Amino acid sequence: MAKLAVLAVLASLLAAVSCKSSLSKWSIYIGYGYPSWGPWGPPQGQGYAPRTTASTQPPPRNDLKVGYYAGKNCSNAEEIVRKAVVNATAGVQAGLIRLFFHDCFVRGCDASVLLEQTADGPRTERQGFPNQSLRGFDVIEAAKDALEKECPGVVSCADILAFAARDASSILSHGKIEYYPVPAGRYDGNVSLESDVLGKNLPPPFADLATLTQMFADKGLNQTDMVVLSGGHSIGRSHCPSIDRVQPPNSPSPSMDPALAAKLNQTCDTPDNATTTVPQDDVTENDLDIQYYKNVLSGRVLFTSDAALNSTDTRELVKRYAGDISGALEWYLYFAEAMVKMGNIGVKTGPPKGEGEIRNKCGFVNPPKAN
Ligand code: HEM
């Protein structure tokens, strides 16, 4: 009898979570032309219950559409990108998610982060300090080469990045983050400046909560989005010099788990410190999961910006994601939502009015057209 009662409680909890999930799943795509909401569609007439902890919905962008390339005679576009991402290592897949974040935060999601050279010269975003450790460029370029063979001049590098970040999220979370629909139709920018990066658009690892909240707000993302997206630090690696919590003036950080501090000091105290890397989450290094939030609460995170989430304003949300199955399910869902929302930042449009182009090679702007 007691067992039955427990099962009934569990069943109602899961039902409540999955109900919330399906509502969330469709609400994010309103305005993107997602065809009749496919398998994710809500039954007609079912009311929309407002959510308590979700990221706010992105303002719909009329210039982005789910399934955009099917309408451009390139229906294999997303599959071609996925093949390139599947073949990458888990570390490079993590790098692809970071690459998308660093692209979107500087001049919008326009692939400006990929440029090696522009009309302004070679001092592009790639040379900016936090970008020197980015990885995944080869995967994007391989996908672009394959796409140029299949449908030349059609798929933008900015969209390849958005697809690749989605694919990597789905793979590294072992499908817990769904293969979510990505609105596409972005054009590639042709300006990329090293001076735009450091301290201007990308938050530094020593940022406090107020700075992080403001820097995300400047991009149209709220504090919940920031907390949700920071879960990206449950995968990938960091170079020792980035770990501000074990360096003066922050060291020893009183809120860092002493065992982790000792381990980091030992690993990073080497002559080749600059090239030494450590996992961001040393419990489940290659799983995009909610372990990050447990690490925030137990002081096992690398940066001040991670530890800042254990502040009064955000602690409850962190506890929720770290807590039980319903919090975890919510995070997997909202991570996808927040990635879609991040993908709206500063989108470029194409000719005749827009300033964007479809690059031939992701590392270089197109040569000027001959008259
Ligand atoms: C909230 C502000 C953020 C700060 C201050 C920050 C800072 C950093 C730093 C310093 C590193 C280590 C770089 C290195 O030394 O190699 C890093 C790595 C990483 N970040 Fe963030 N980050 C932030 C937000 C995000 C977001 C929003 C995402 C994705 C949604 C993300 C995904 C990653 C990933 C996946 C890595 C590991 C990359 C790899 O292994 O190549 N970060 N971040």
pLDDT digits (tens, 9 = 90+) for 299-332: 999 999 999 999 999 999 999 999 999 999 999 9
Q: What is the pLDDT of residues 193-237, one digit of tens each?
A: 999 997 789 999 999 999 999 999 999 999 999 999 999 999 999
**In the structure, what pLDDT confidence band is assigned to residue 371 with cuts at 50, 70 and 90?**
low
Is the pLDDT assigned to residue 37 strictly greater than 50? no
The answer to whether residues 334 and 54 touch, using CB atoms and an 8 Å cutoff, is yes
Distance (Å) from CA 37 to ligand 1 centroid? 32
Is the pLDDT assigned to residue 169 strictly greater than 70? yes
Indicate if 102 belongs to the active site. yes
The answer to whether residues 343 and 103 touch, using CB atoms and an 8 Å cutoff, is no
Compare 48 and 72 and report the one with higher pLDDT.
Answer: 72
Supply the pLDDT for residue 58: 56
**Ligand 1 shell residues, CB under 6 Å:** 91, 94-95, 97-98, 101, 133, 135, 203-205, 207, 212, 229-230, 232-233, 235-239, 242, 280, 303, 305
**In the structure, what pLDDT confidence band is assigned to residue 7 with cuts at 50, 70 and 90?**
very low
Supply the pLDDT for residue 9: 39
**CA nearest neighbour of 113 among 95, 139, 134:** 134
Residue with tokens 């694919």: 167
**In the structure, what pLDDT confidence band is assigned to residue 52 with cuts at 50, 70 and 90?**
very low
Is the pLDDT assigned to residue 51 strictly greater than 50? no
Letter string b/e over residues 264-280, b meaning 16 or more CB atoms within 10 A of that residue's CB: beeebeeeeeeebebbb
The answer to whether residues 71 and 139 touch, using CB atoms and an 8 Å cutoff, is no
Is the pLDDT assigned to residue 53 strictly greater than 80? no
Site to probe by mutation for ligand 1, drawn from 238, 240, 284, 334 as the one with most ligand atoms within 8 Å of Cβ, is 238
Is the pLDDT assigned to residue 160 strictly greater than 50? yes
Whole-angstrom distance, CA of residue 219 vs CA of residue 292: 23
Region of 162 (left: φ > 0; alpha: ψ -120 to 50; beta: rest) is alpha
Supply the pLDDT for residue 175: 96
Mean pLDDT of 272-281: 94
Q: What is the pLDDT of residues 288-297, one digit of tens each?
A: 999 999 999 9
In this structure, which residue's CA is closest to atom 37 in ligand 1?
A: 236
- Domain spanning 219-339: which CATH class is it, in words? mainly alpha
CA angle at 340 for the pair 35 and 292, rounded to the nearest 5°: 135
CA dist 258 to 178, 264, 301, Å?
Answer: 36, 10, 12
Supply the pLDDT for residue 36: 30
Supply the pLDDT for residue 250: 76
Mean pLDDT of 115-132: 94
> In the structure encoding, which two tokens stand for residue 55, read together?
């990221």
In the chain, at which residue ranges do the beta strands (DSSP E only) sit? 237-239, 277-279
Supply the pLDDT for residue 67: 96
What mean pLDDT value characterizes the chain? 86
Supply the pLDDT for residue 19: 37
| Coil, strand or helix at 297 | helix
Whole-angstrom distance, CA of residue 187 vs CA of residue 322: 38
Neighbours of 53 (CB within 10 A): 16
The answer to whether residues 133 and 239 touch, using CB atoms and an 8 Å cutoff, is yes
**In the structure, what pLDDT confidence band is assigned to residue 351 with cuts at 50, 70 and 90?**
confident
**In the structure, what pLDDT confidence band is assigned to residue 56 with cuts at 50, 70 and 90?**
low
Supply the pLDDT for residue 114: 98
In this structure, which residue's CA is closest to atom 12 in ligand 1?
A: 238
Whole-angstrom distance, CA of residue 166 vs CA of residue 81: 10
Q: Is the dihedral of CA 92, 32, 202, 140 positive or negative?
A: positive
